[in-house]
Structure 1
Amino acid sequence: MDRKEFLRRGFSALGIAAITPLISCSSDTVDPVDASSGTTTGSATGSTSDTCTATASETAGPFPTKSPSGLVINDITSDRTGTKLSVTLTIQNLNSSCEGLAGALVDIWHCDAAGNYSEYGGSGMQSTNYTTVHFLRGRQTTDANGRVTFTSIYPGWYSGRAPHIHVHVYNASGKSLLVTQIAFPEAISKVVYAQGVYASHGQADTTNARDNIFRDGVSTEMSTVTGSVSAGYELTHAIVVSA
């Protein structure tokens, strides 16, 4: 089964058991994973407090980072080429008046300009074999204001999905708090995909509204992206968890 078919059938039809082996069967998987939050697609809106709304939970997808504790890095670009993207995430605690959550572990991962993920490949889900390399994956710990930053490239796309970044947030003790995804403004993606290494891959074939994950809304998952192709882009986004 390829990725497009996987997405068309929907993650709920596959069930938790079908996804869990991808997360847990590897011998180097040593990080805590909450299987339910890692495989269940949430609604576009969540619990609310006086000042903020919980970020929607989403699937970790078929390509979660196998051992994120070994990828504690700020610059996750590795050898991948593309338009520079600076990612700043603020983790807020719904249960503490939406204050920044200090000491949280934040993992992010996304595909390269051609739509491929590291750590996987050589199968129907992804033909290009990148099973022995690690790129566009990293972990950081939030500062006193609940903030982490990463240096990366603008994600590419693959058939059936709109551009996105995966995020998994843990508390300082390693308890899973939220698995979610970050959406991108389509107008900016169109500009990026018309140039450089992205041009040969063309424009994304799926909009946010038609995306299997985002089609129920992106009110808590849409990022703010500013900048330009020449200077690079800056992504900022707040993720609200219950800690």
Structure 2
Amino acid sequence: MSRDQMASAAKRSLDGCSSSLKARDVNARSVARRAEVAREIRQKRNIQSKPKKYRRDLATLEIFEAINHNQTALGYTTATAEETIFSANTSCILTPENTDGPYYVTGESIRKNVTEGQAGIPMYLEVQYLDINTCLPVEDVYVDIWNCNATGLYSGVVATGNDGGWDSTFLRGIQVTDEDGVASFETIFPGHYDGRATHTHLLSHANVTVMENGTIQGGTVSHIGQLFYNEELRSAAEATYPYSTNTQAITSNADDMWSIVQAENDYDPFPEYLYLGDDITDGLLAWIQIGINVTADQSDSSYYAVAAVLQADGGHATTSSSTGGVGGDNGTAPGNGTAPGNGTAPPS
């Protein structure tokens, strides 16, 4: 498939340049930045207990949960080298050929903190975009982020079982990548809903125009992707309030319709993460590196769809909107081909 060929080619490109002097310098700065962010967040929240690093082994999705892919504490101490704790795999890539779902909204604001008071586990998410041909950072990429809240509700749309309201904006926002290719967000760990594994949406834009009201227009869509989370991390999160009040059916990564698209031998959609304290409720620092083709434009891709647009007078559905409780991420109705009638949201 063209998706797999692209991923393999991108991995070879990244593998070939990841040991270059400039790439090593980028990695060193990344390690220092993540360590400093962790210290600042812990100090700000007055977290006294030691942080915990978790990791996983790379494998294809089909055997992720069958092998020892569970996140396990490594027992790091303050004497452990920061490079060991905060490094990342520069050969990780995300294929741009994954759906943005039926709940993508344009016109969101450029902002780092997207929580808007939503209850849940605080998560500081760092996404670093690298050129697959040079392993160097891609600057001035504008990154849209969106995910559901702790109980499975999306903002900005009106659909069967997902009436967040056209004018709501929680857990949505845009950040621009800096000289290290990094866009960072203050958000919460996403909840789940019927038909989809726990995930976060990302969509990046190049060559945009920044408007006076703090929004963006124009440009190209350089990457469409989704982040997924290990089952053990999800279980730990959903044992806490308010995730524990969510009565919707849980879908595992293995059963998800889109994680199979996103995770193959050559790319890995699972961020590295750190418990900022002893307990998950102290918050998470998560990070991932994404290799992109800087000349790509996914604007005409079948995976690119806009459900609504946020304007000065509020949110409005688009004529191509796939909300309304009928369409899933693949353009078909979820489940048995009928609109959900159990109060759950369609997959996105």
| TM-score, L = length of structure 1 | 0.75
Which runs of structure 2 are paired with 1:1-243 in the superposition (5 Å)? 46=7, 47-48=9-10, 49=13, 50=16, 51=18, 52=91, 54-57=93-96, 58-68=98-108, 71-95=109-133, 97-121=134-158, 123-124=159-160, 126-173=161-208, 174-201=219-246, 205-216=250-261, 218=263, 219-227=267-275, 228-243=279-294
Deviation, structure 1 residue 67: 1.3
The Cα of 1:108 is off from its aligned counterpart by: 0.6
* 1:179-208, Cα deviation, whole Å (9 max, x unpaired): 100111110110110111111115861111
**Gap change, CA 1:93 and 1:205, over 3 Å in 2:** same
Task: Extract unaligned runs of 5+ from structure 2.
Answer: 19-90, 209-218, 295-348
Quick one: distance in 2 between partners of 1:210 and 1:116? 21
2: CA distance, partners of 1:44 / 1:190: 34
2:128·2:181 contact (CA, 8 Å) conserved in 1?
A: yes
Offset of residue 43 of structure 1: 5.1
Matched residue type, 2:114: I
Distance 1:204 1:229 in 2: 22
CA contact (8 A) 1:91 1:100 kept: yes
Is contact 2:127-2:287 (8 Å) kept? Answer: yes
SS of 2:106's equivalent in the other structure is coil
* Preserved CA contact (<8 Å) 1:44 1:220: no
C-alpha distance in 1 between matches for 2:95 and 2:254: 16
State the one-letter code of the partner of 2:117: D
Residues 84 and 154 in structure 1, CA contact (< 8 A), matched pair in contact too: yes
Q: Name the counterpart of 1:26.
A: none
- For the 8 Å contact 1:112–1:156, the answer to whether it is kept is yes
- 1:225 CA drift (Å): 2.1
Give me the whole-angstrom Cα distance separating, in 2, the residues matched to 1:43 and 1:200.
39
Instruction: Give the aligned CA root-mean-square deviation in angstroms.
Output: 2.1
Cα distance in 2 for residues equivalent to 1:140 and 1:56: 20
Distance in structure 1 (CA, Å) of the matches to 2:92 and 2:233? 25
Amino acid across the alignment from 1:107: D
Check conservation: 1:91, 1:240, Cα contact below 8 A: yes
Percent identity of paired positions between Structure 1 and Structure 2: 24
In the TM superposition, residue 45 of structure 1 has moved relative to its aligned partner by 6.9
Deviation of residue 220 (structure 1)?
A: 2.5
Question: 1:235 Cα deviation (Å)?
Answer: 1.1
Alignment partners' CA distance in 2, 1:235 and 1:181: 14
CA distance in 1, matches of 2:176, 2:131: 15
Query: Is this contact kept in 2: 1:165–1:183, CA < 8 A?
Result: yes
2:162 & 2:206 partners in 1: Cα distance?
Answer: 35
- Name the TM-score, length of structure 2 as normaliser: 0.53
Gaps of 5+ in 1: 1-40
Code of the aligned partner of 1:93: D
Alpha carbons 1:194, 1:203 under 8 Å: kept: no
Structure 1 Cα separation of the partners of residues 177 and 228 of structure 2: 21
Instruction: Tell me, yes or no, if the aligned pair for 1:89 and 1:238 is still in contact at 8 Å.
Output: yes
1:64-97: CA deviation from partner (whole Å, max 9, x where unpaired): 02213xx1000000131111111001011113x1
- Note closer, same or farther for the CA distance 1:225–1:45 as it changes in structure 2 (3 Å cut): farther
Which structure would you say has the larger Rg?
Answer: 2
The runs of at least 4 consecutive aligned structure 1 residues that moved more than 3 Å come to: 41-45, 51-54
Q: CA deviation at 1:217?
A: 5.6
Aligned residue in 2 for 1:11: none
